[in-house]
Structures are given as structure tokens and as C-alpha cells.
Amino acid sequence: MARRRRRPECRDKVEPDLSVPGRNDIFVIGDTASLVDASGRSVPGVAPAAKQEGTHVAHCLLARFTGSRAPPPFRYRNWGNLATIGRSVPSRWGGPQQHAGRPEI
């Protein structure tokens, strides 16, 4: 069976703090959230982005509960991707450096 790709229009549009428009008590993160971050780029629906979004929501909630200032709008930081191709042969791309193959010992 072929995998279906999630279409962007199937994702929920969210505010810069990852809350649902008009409902500041509901947050959406991960591949279900559609967001253009503070730098103007669309946030991908991948696990590293979801982890960063979860941390941002935690900071938003902590600020609300403690009465402190809200954090700045969410900004996704792409640190690159990592894949294991075959046995013990990692490959990393994106970010400042790119690596492939076994490390030299």
C-alpha cells in the first residue's frame, strides 16, 4: 500500500505561540500544526520540529502559570538530518557540516 502524504491544508493553522486561533488554551504541535515561524519559513512536520514546538509550548504554559512574560514567537531551528544507511554507516546532511560513511579511527 502506498503511503499518503499529509497535505498542508489538512494541518491546523496556529498562532505564533502554537495556540489555536481564538483559543489560547489549546495548543497544536507536530505534523498536525501549520505554521510559518518568526523567520518566515514554513515549519516542517518532522520529529525535531515537534520536539522544539513542545519545548516552546512548555515555556508558554510556564509563563502563564507564573505570571511572567510570554516567550517570543516560535522559531524553528534546523540542525540537519541524520540517517543510518546500512550497518554502522551514518550519513548526516544539513546544518553547517555534512558527513557520510564510517568515522576514521
pLDDT in tens, 23-60: 989 999 988 888 887 778 888 888 889 999 999 999 99
Q: What percent of the chain has pLDDT over 70?
A: 68
pLDDT of residue 66: 94
Which amino acid does the sequence have at 97?
Q
C-beta atoms surrounding 62 within 10 Å: 12
**pLDDT tens digit string along 3-15?**
555 555 678 889 9
Q: What is the distance between the terminal CA atoms of the chain, rounded to a whole angstrom?
A: 42
pTM given for the model: 0.70
pLDDT of residue 1: 46
